[in-house]
Amino acid sequence: MRPFDYIDGSLAAGPVRLADIAAAVGTPAYVYSADAVEAAYREFETALAPARICYAMKANGNLAVLRLLAGLGAGADVVSEGEFRRALAAGIAPERIVFSGVGKTEAEMEAALASGILQINAESAPEVRSLSRIAARIGRTASVALRINPDVDAGTLDQISTGRKTDKFGVAWTEAPALFREAAGLPGLSMEGIAVHIGSQLGDLDPYRRAFRRVAELVRTLRAEGARIRRLDLGGGFGIRYRDETPLPLAGYAALVREEVAGLGCELVVEPGRRLVGPAGVLLARVVAVKETPARRFVIVDAGMNDLVRPMIYGAWHDILPLDAPPAGAHYRPADVVGPVCETTDKFAEQRPLPPLAAGDLVAFCEAGAYGAVMASTYNGRPLVPEVLVRGGRFDVVRARPTFEESLALERVPDWLAASGGDG
Ligand code: LLP
């Protein structure tokens, strides 16, 4: 069953009408389907067991979403101390967390090591050396995987490709053997394995194959020298359907893993983000006005680029569905769907065929559960929007809309300015 579908002409999450949620919490608002997240998780489990599933929480870090996934058995892939603490707060044990990222600070590495994290994915020689120093200083052993850059083009958007030699991520595969050897000799480090992640929203298995071959080759080289390699972190990147893409076939991926790396006998980790939560979320918005100009029909909605930025920074496509199903035979006409933010780039869709829409109508931006709320900002003085989780026939607000007072609470006017008075 699709996570969001029309029931009696009204778009719903399971049995819950999205219009009822909009009426209760206002718009804009993110809505996630717990059932859809769970189904997506089960699909991974079925296809890839016994691999460890470390949810790439950068896709959606809401505490309730994390808690849901933790309850299903997921670990987490984190990229900052903030994410790490959030994962812990959601009940994910440190022994189920891997720490990725190209610019971990010493404080972040120390916090992770002190807690007994499963693995840190090191991405450079300086990072390997810092990890050794910190671990030795605090009397811990750091379990480390070396993230390699396999110089493989993932064939996805340029902005979310990470495995080409010109990308900032990982250690060049050509230099990885030497760095692994060096690391194996450093105090405080236990070199556990190799990690790789070549990009996001992959639709094709072939780049994975090329990357995994490089990983397998490296494992064989290092083992021939006596290195002990027991874990491979294969990253994320599993593509979904936004427009007309074919989602990455998970069964095909699993077969590929069996062919290319399973024979090495390592424990396997995967880090799916988007695939677990993307299709499970929508962003609800209300039409503020429809403005016809000599050149365009603008549908102006109350959500903006600060709420969902993917269309603006990646040119990403999100389906836009009216909450009330258009009548049969409705006339679709091109429209530019734009937000209220004072930038021309605040445009969700250009010349998109849409049925008639009027002020007050509600729409949903689809596949917005991943890289939606987490990438939001308060630009133009717009508070972060609430998040709602639907389970079966109920819904709960899992992040409240901050009040304007709360939005101001961290800011201070220094004495010397306060003294000058604001009322004169
Ligand atoms: N592991 C690592 C080391 C990553 O860097 C990422 C994503 C993932 C796993 C999860 O990848 P996924 O399964 O979600 O494709 N903001 C962009 C996506 C950025 C992805 C960054 N890294 C977007 O909205 O498309």
Q: What is the pLDDT along the chain (424 residues), one digit of tens a residue?
A: 689 999 999 999 999 999 999 999 999 999 999 999 999 999 999 999 999 999 999 999 999 999 999 999 999 999 999 999 999 999 999 999 999 999 999 999 999 999 999 999 999 999 999 999 999 999 999 999 999 999 999 988 899 899 999 999 999 999 999 999 999 999 999 999 999 999 999 999 999 999 999 999 999 999 999 999 999 999 999 999 999 999 999 999 999 999 999 999 999 999 999 999 999 999 999 999 999 999 999 999 999 999 999 999 999 999 999 999 999 999 999 999 999 999 999 999 999 999 999 999 999 999 999 999 999 999 999 999 999 999 999 999 999 999 999 999 999 999 999 887 665 4
Counting atoms of ligand 1 from 1, which one is nearest the CA of 278? 14
- For a ligand 1 pocket test, name from 43, 48, 55, 58 the mutation site with the most ligand atoms within 8 angstroms of its C-beta: 58
Atom of ligand 1 nearest to the CA of 316: 25
Report helix angle 125-138 to 176-184, nearest 10.
10
Contact between residue 271 and residue 77 where contact means Cβ atoms under 8 Å apart: yes
- C-alpha 273 – ligand 1 centre gap (Å): 6
Identical topology for domains 4-30+278-408 and 101-270: no
Q: Which residue among 78, 274, 276 is best mutated to probe the pocket of ligand 1, counting the most ligand atoms within 8 A of its Cβ?
A: 274
Q: Is 199 left (phi over 0), alpha (psi -120 to 50) or beta?
A: left
CATH ID of 101-270, from 3.30.360.10, 2.70.160.11, 3.30.1510.10, 3.20.20.10: 3.20.20.10
Token pair 């890289």 is found at 371
What are the pocket residues of ligand 1 if the criterion is a CB atom closer than 6 Å to any ligand atom? 56, 58-59, 77, 100, 160, 197, 200-201, 235-238, 271-275, 310, 314, 371
- The residue extents of the domains of the chain are 4-30+278-408, 101-270
Joined tokens for residue 102: 């190209």
Counting from 1 in the atom list of ligand 1, the atom nearest the Cα of 202 is 15
Query: Which atom of ligand 1 is nearest to 195's Cα?
Result: 3
For residue 295, report the distance from its CA to the centre of ligand 1, in Å: 37
Residue 421 vs residues 18, 405, 415: alpha-carbon distances, Å: 47, 20, 10
Instruction: Judge contact between 369 and 278, C-beta under 8 A.
Output: yes
Å from CA of 421 to ligand 1 middle: 48
- For the record, the structure tokens of 308 come out as 């969902």
Which residue in the list 54, 266, 342, 366 is annotated as catalytic? 342
Asked about 342 being catalytic, the answer comes back as yes
Q: How far is the CA of 186 from the centre of ligand 1 (A)?
A: 31
φ/ψ of residue 6, rounded to 5 = -80, 130
CATH 2.60.120.380 holds for 4-30+278-408: no
Rounded to the nearest whole angstrom, what is the distance from the C-alpha of residue 180 to the centroid of ligand 1? Answer: 25
Phi-psi region of 71 (alpha: psi -120 to 50; beta: other; left: phi over 0): alpha
Q: What digits encode the pLDDT tens for the residues 1-10?
A: 689 999 999 9
Say if residue 407 is exposed, middle or buried (CB neighbours under 10 Å; 0-12, 13-18, 19+).
middle
